[in-house]
Each structure stands twice: as C-alpha cells, then as structure tokens.
Amino acid sequence: MTPIQECLINKNTKINPVWLMRQAGRYLPEFREIRKLNPDFIKLCLNHNLSEEITLQPIKRFGFDAAIIFSDILMLPFGIGQTVQFKKNFGPSLGILELDKLQKVTNNDFSENLLPVYKLLSNLKNNKDLENRDLIGFVGAPWTLLVYMINKVSPKKGLSKEFFKDKILINETLDLLDKFIKIHIENQIKAGATIIQIFDSWAGLIQNDFDKFLYNPTLSIVNYVKSLGVPVICFPRGISDYVKFTKIVKPSMINIDYNVDPKNLIKFLDIPVQGGLDPKILLSNRENLKKQINSYLEVFRDHPYVFNLGHGILPETEIDMVYELVETVRNYK
Ligand code: 1CP
C-alpha cells in the first residue's frame, strides 16, 4: 500500500506522506525550459511525451509520495469544444459558450479530444519512478468550471451579478459538467489514476445557493468516484464551513486552505486531512518554514494527515526551500 493510501484507508497516523499542489510547474527550472519551447499551453498538455516528463520532474527531484498528472482543469471545457487559450501574463481566456453545440458532443468525441491525457496516465502506470507512489488524476469541481466557462476569464476580481442572470444557461451547463466530469474521471481511472482530486478553487466565491452550486454537484461527483473504488480528495478553497462540507459531501480526504484553523477543525472532523500551509511561507526563511511545518504536523499528530499546501506552490518559490520542506516533513518524529 502506498503511504497516502495507508493514511486514507488504514487511517495510519504514524506517517506523513508529502506532495505539493501544482508541484509540476513554473517554479521548476526544468519545467520553464520546456515551457519556453512550447508557448501553446494546451498543445503542451496534449503532448504526452512532454507531459509525462513534466509529471515526473518533481518526483525525480524531491521524491514526493505522489505524482499529479501534468494537465489542467480547463482541459475539460476544451474537450467539450469550448475554445481555451492561455495568454502570457493574463491567464486563461475562453471562447463563447455555445451550449447547443457542446450538448451534441458525444462521450467518444470528448474522450478522443483528451486521449493524450489518458495516454499520459497509462504510460506512467508502471513507471519505476512511481513505485509505491500514487498517481493523482484530477478534475475541476462543477462550480469552478462553471465559473470559467461562463465568465471566460479568471474571476480574480470577483463575479458580477450578470454572471447569475441566465438561469437556463447555468442549469444546463451544470448538467453538461456533471456528465463530462464523470466521463473524464472514469477515463483517468481506467488509464491508471489511483486517486482523484477535485479542485474547487473558486468555491469561496459562492455566497448563496450552496446546495445548488457546492454541495449537490460535488456530492454527485464524489459518489461517482467512490463507486469506482478510488479515493477522492476535495479542495473547496475558501469556503467558511469545512466541517459542514465534509459532513454532507463525505470525501475520502479533505484538503484545507491556509485560512482554516487546523486545531479547531480536527475537533469536529473524522476524515483524513491534507494540506494547509500557506504557500507564501515558502517565500520567507528556512527557520520560519520549519516552524510552520512542525506546527501543522504537531496538530495532526494523532490524525491521519498528508502534508501539502493550502493552495498551489508559487512560481517564485526557491528550489532550496522545497528541499527544506520535504526534509522537515520526513524528519518529523
Ligand atoms: O507556464 C504557464 O504559464 C502555465 C501555468 C500552468 C500550469 C503549470 C497552468 C495555467 N496550469 C498548470 C498545470 C496545472 N493546473 C496542474 C498540473 C500541475 C501540478 O499540479 O503539478 C493542475 C493540477 C492545475 C489545476 C488548475 N488549473 C487549477 C486548480 C488548482 C489551483 O491552483 O487553484 C486552476 C484554477 C487552473 C486554471 C489555471 N491554469 C493555469 C492558470 C494560470 C490557471 C489559474 C488562472 C486563474 O487565476 O484564474
């Protein structure tokens, strides 16, 4: 059993596996080199030789306990036929949402469009660098994907009232997402993913209708992953009530963000926890980093815990700080 499965299934509190959200990416010089030669991000995600190499880069360097596939949550709208571009110093930019066109896309068309993502997984399945490690597949949560598909650009500056205006568009897009997120998950598991993580990066923007936008759609996906016999990790970033979320949605593990007070949380929580450390701590100094890591590990001494961050690692992170992080987690007694 892998260290993470040991935590998830056997509820082992003696080990602290470690991996980092967005571990395959921009803080790594070896990634930046590949990226420079591949300005089209979608094409890079569809090049299974390169995506395989990028997925393994952080494993080879740091020996993390899990590899997360190099792909993106926006590969899903791309797979259903909405245009997706990544613009330099701007982020994602999506094309018009032509619902009637997307509703005609079949399971086969979609799976064909994303074939290189599944090929990446099947190629890595028996890779010896991943021996005794998990291979994490992922999806965006329905809410977060809905936000990108309708808003077309990052909702960094919030969502306008306009966003919620067309109820039919919202409802039909949510139905479409439920269908294709499940297909994408099934394909990833069949190809070799041993865990699925659901990224709900913009869950914190939900202010009303929590059942409609957060609980019901996420529960539907979580139950589906469980029905395939694979553990599922939820990351509803920025929500105010993680306890309520876990009671309703019941993921196999919950990834907390850095605004959650872990001490208070575990009084009410009976499932394994992942993450929490503010990625900005990696921009401070070694002493502070060690102190903060140890304080998370101390809180979770008697609770199954996978060490990770409270959001993705920042591009400006120094490599040496990541070595320090791994060493500190591994040396904790
Ligand atoms: O070089 C570059 O400019 C590309 C940067 C980049 C990378 C490395 C993007 C664009 N996506 C990725 C890979 C990626 N994205 C992975 C695999 C790598 C890994 O985790 O190691 C994963 C899991 C994601 C997931 C993802 N994409 C999320 C959820 C996690 C999170 O950080 O909140 C989100 C919101 C996206 C959208 C996205 N893709 C890329 C960017 C810059 C963004 C965010 C845009 C925004 O702020 O709205």
* Mutation test residue for ligand 1: of 19, 22, 233, 322, the one with most atoms within 8 Å of CB: 22
Per-residue pLDDT band at 192 (split at 50, 70, 90):
very high
pTM above the 0.85 mark? yes
Q: In 93-241, where does DSSP find H-type helix? A: 99-102, 107-113, 115-124, 142-151, 167-191, 210, 216-227
pLDDT, residue 76, reads: 98
Per the structure, the count of domains in the chain is: 1
pLDDT above 70 as % of the chain: 100
Task: Report the chain's mean pLDDT, rounded to a whole number.
Answer: 97
For ligand 1, whether the C-beta of 23 sits within 6 Å is: yes
pLDDT, residue 115, reads: 98
Region 208-212: mean pLDDT is 97
pLDDT, residue 300, reads: 97
Region 242-255: mean pLDDT is 98
pLDDT, residue 183, reads: 98
271, 246 in Cβ contact below 8 A?
Answer: yes
For ligand 1, whether the C-beta of 70 sits within 6 Å is: yes
57: CATH: 3.20.20.210
Interior/surface letters 170-202, b for 16+ CB within 10 angstroms, e for the rest:
beebbebbeebbbbbbbbbbebbbbbbbbbbbb
Amino acid at 228: L
Q: Report residue 149 as tokens.
A: 């598909």
pLDDT, residue 214, reads: 98
DSSP string over 188-229 = HHHHT-SEEEEE-TTGGG--S-HIIIIIHHHHHHHHHHHHTT
Instruction: Write out pLDDT tens, residues 16-49.
Output: 999 999 999 999 999 999 999 999 999 999 999 9
pLDDT, residue 250, reads: 98
pLDDT, residue 221, reads: 98
Name the residue range of residue 190's domain: 3-331
For ligand 1, whether the C-beta of 22 sits within 6 Å is: yes
CA distance 83 to 149: 10
Q: 257 alpha carbon to ligand 1 midpoint, in Å?
A: 16
